A and B are shown apart, each in its own frame.
Chain A
């Protein structure tokens, strides 16, 4: 299945890079088994697989090297003699030899010949899955990404075998892969000579009194790092979750250039990129499942989770909380990127408009203008309501401001509903921003 495909891509890239000529079985025995299973702490726990089936009295952390070899032999004999099933061919259907599994209705009756190579490759592929928050993993059928993931395996093994880190949890290879790729591909934070303390500061590992474990990375953080590897690129990822039963999201195109685009828009709007990058990037991205429902992952999927509560509502940023300024930067960046999708120039048009509207409000004496702006204009759910509010403003305006607002009215009229929603929210944030500054 798909794990086999990715495993094959990786093995070809591996053989080329390390100038070797390993067959899938050789690689599995000499590299994969040695890294993943031939130690007291495993790197990957596959339910029902030969590696976790213990005889009475056996425990994974007290197995002798001979006992581990025996488990490897058990796997070999299964691969040679049995129809592949999910317990030893990862991502494959459940066995039907004894009875139909409850998920058997999903299995197609197209008979695919599976070789023993395919089975070993499926293990390799599954070890390359990149875990992200939400219980899903992503596989990229890409030589560079898989080779980079492979480098991380050795780092994880090194820490697992480190006596001073005896509390470090095993079996977290996919979670680790996500953190490792995010960290190692980010040229601005990655250091060649990193140590465990660096990883702890990066929040890759969570350390407490009884346990050290790898945190799960957000897909958006991974996305921003991958976009450094492929700044103009687009990669199809396969999003899934393996467990007792699997979850299949399927093939989702990742528009990595959207990540570079966000950074570029930010730079153009606010000058240099001097904010806390990690905190800034963490604001982007909806839940992975919602993102995948969009069919492809790009700018739209990067929508900051916090922004939704402001859209089409009178609620606005208050700038009284310290986080609000960073949120404002992130929200404005995303909205601007959405509005200028196909255009090159990024302007601060909305900022000028916000100033005009603020001027209008300050010229009033009573609270009626404030009410009009806050609870009518910015709370508009549709273009019609927005334009009605503008028309109400027009009667009190003169000369230049009148021209600006009239022009705004015409522009809003021509926007699509989607554009309008972004535009109105952006204008609202800018308004709150200039109001705070004044």
Chain B
């Protein structure tokens, strides 16, 4: 029986931008992690892998949350606009209003095959896409692989399985390689805790 070492992280908020959100006044958070997000989390936990391509240590994950709550906030353009006023040049950075669906109390389980890796991960925090959305480690457990795959009580959540089959859909483009990323959504138990 193969064993997994699972680290549970939890935090207050999380937001994962859907790749298609480009001119929005309202955006929900994605409820799953894409391959490049998992790779990014892994590189944060194991900086020695920075030069290595692909996901090497995280063998599974599960993301759940209590609910999505909509927050209204001000966003800015990503650069300065300039207009000429006579001899002077006016620089401005306009605002807009965005209603952003934020994951409330997200819980992330990361599974490792190696106990040492899990131990290293357990000593650090991770973020869900925005660096203010800190998730802190809570417990490190040793579980049977089958339990992690199927225990709907303890490991409920969304997991995007990174493979291309008929159920898969395009989840974005890899930040490093520009390649299209595909996956299908596996749902274990009831990932949304409150409704």
B77 adjacent to A110 (CB under 8 Å): no
A residues within 8 A CB of B17? 106, 108
CB distance from A85 to the nearest CB of B (A): 9
Total count of chain B residues near the partner, CB < 8 A = 45
A248 adjacent to B21 (CB under 8 Å): yes
B residues within 8 A CB of A102? 75, 77, 94-96
Select from chain B the residue with minimum beta-carbon distance to A236.
B169
B23 adjacent to A103 (CB under 8 Å): yes
Complex Cα spacing A134 to B18, Å: 20
Total count of chain A residues near the partner, CB < 8 A = 43
B173 adjacent to A100 (CB under 8 Å): no
Stretch at the interface among B49-57, B135-143, B184-192: B184-192
Q: List residues 209-234 of chain A with CB under 8 A from any CB of chain B.
A: 234
B75 adjacent to A106 (CB under 8 Å): yes
Total contacts A-B at CB 8 Å: 131
Whether A91 sits at the interface, judged by CB under 8 Å, is: yes
Whether B145 sits at the interface, judged by CB under 8 Å, is: no
A245, A251, A293, A296: the one within 8 Å of B171 (CB): A251
Select from chain A the residue with minimum beta-carbon distance to B82.
A99
Chain B 150-173 interface mask (CB, 8 Å, partner A; 1/0): 000000001000000001011101
B77 adjacent to A2 (CB under 8 Å): no
Complex Cα spacing A106 to B75, Å: 9
Q: Are A107 and B20 CB-contacts (below 8 A) given A101-B77, A250-B28, A251-B169?
A: no
Chain A 86-130 interface mask (CB, 8 Å, partner B; 1/0): 100001111000011111111110111100000000000000000
A294 adjacent to B173 (CB under 8 Å): no
B24 adjacent to A294 (CB under 8 Å): no
Whether B76 sits at the interface, judged by CB under 8 Å, is: yes
B residues within 8 A CB of A5? 169-170
Q: List residues 14-41 of chain B with CB under 8 A from any CB of chain A.
A: 17-32
Select from chain A the residue with minimum beta-carbon distance to B158.
A295
Q: Are A110 and B173 CB-contacts (below 8 A) given A246-B22, A246-B23?
A: yes
Select from chain B the residue with minimum beta-carbon distance to A100.
B77
CB distance from B108 to the nearest CB of A (A): 15
B20 adjacent to A93 (CB under 8 Å): no
Task: Show 27 residue pairs from A and B whose CB-CB distance is below 8 angstroms, ordered by the A residue.
Answer: A1-B19, A2-B20, A5-B169, A86-B23, A92-B22, A99-B81, A100-B79, A100-B93, A101-B77, A102-B75, A103-B22, A103-B96, A105-B96, A108-B175, A110-B175, A110-B178, A238-B169, A245-B23, A248-B18, A249-B28, A250-B20, A292-B28, A293-B68, A293-B101, A294-B192, A295-B191, A300-B195
The 7 closest A-B pairs by CB, nearest first: A102-B96, A100-B77, A245-B25, A93-B22, A248-B21, A250-B18, A99-B81
Q: A101-B77, A108-B17 given. 10 additional CB < 8 A pairs?
A: A86-B22, A100-B77, A103-B25, A106-B22, A111-B178, A141-B169, A248-B28, A250-B20, A250-B31, A293-B195
Residues of A within 8 A of B (CB): 1-2, 5, 86, 91-94, 99-108, 110-113, 141, 234, 236, 238, 240-241, 245-251, 253, 290, 292-296, 300
